Amino acid sequence: MTAIVFGSLPFSGQNGDKIVSKAITTAIAALFKKTGNLQANLRVEPVAKLLQGSIDGFDFIGNGMLMYNGLRLEAMELYLQAVSIDFSAIFSGKVKLRQPTQATMRVVITEEDLTTSFNTPFIIEKLQRLEYEGKSLHFQQTQMTVNEDKSLTIKSQIKIGDTEEVTNIDIKANLDLQGRTKIQFTNPQYQENSEGQRLGKVILDHVNNLLDLDKFSIDGIRLRVDRARIKDKEFIFYGTAEIDHFPERKR
């Protein structure tokens, strides 16, 4: 019966599980401006359950994923269980959840990704909302380095107000989690002179305030982090993605 139903649909040569797998992969890829390799695996037994929109599970692994705001992920893995979808929407290229679902998540960000992110217009604009002694700040050449002791060094050149003079900040700090939504730089050590130290403290407080996952929310998806580790100059985050609905592809 399943073969007859799928055989009558405009997807010749594809099985139902492959059709749904492709649609979900496309929906996840819609979060990103560019993607590298994508691997998806749909689990459903028997396949006939797809006609009722029932899926046992779905695994997704992506590499080299560039978000529309310029932030890049080296890798992202999502593992969904017991997903219920509106099967009829698949044939219009959409994935509609019948009820919210939750995915186990693993995200990898490299040292280079982090440096690039802090130099994107998206992050710079957020940093420059901060004023120092009533003057605007202009960031340039921000560099993030992972040290052998797994601490992080933040260096940046900053112009205060309209001056052309550059103030350097050089901060060494640890990376910690607070709750499930806040990533924080803790135990800071300031390497520069008194001006750089004062400015560095103000900036680090501002950065810590920014690093709340709810402030980087994705349409229909809430991210929660349970554990973070640093290995081989990579930041690895483990947590969950609470999915109310899949976003539409950006145009």
| pLDDT given for residue 81 in this prediction | 85
Per residue in 191-216, pLDDT (tens digit) is 867 778 888 999 999 889 888 887 76
Strands 54-67 and 72-84: antiparallel
Which helix (H) or strand (E) is 196 found in, with range?
A: helix 194-210
Residue 202 CA: distances (Å) to CA of 58, 160, 190, 206, 208: 44, 13, 12, 6, 10
Relative to beta strand 152-160, strand 135-146 is: antiparallel
- Residue 75, H or E segment: strand 72-84
Task: Please tell me the pTM assigned to this model.
Answer: 0.81
131-173 pLDDT, tens digit per residue, is: 888 898 999 899 999 999 999 999 999 999 888 889 889 999 9
- Domain coordinates of the chain in residue numbers? 2-111+215-243, 114-213
Mean pLDDT of 83-109: 86
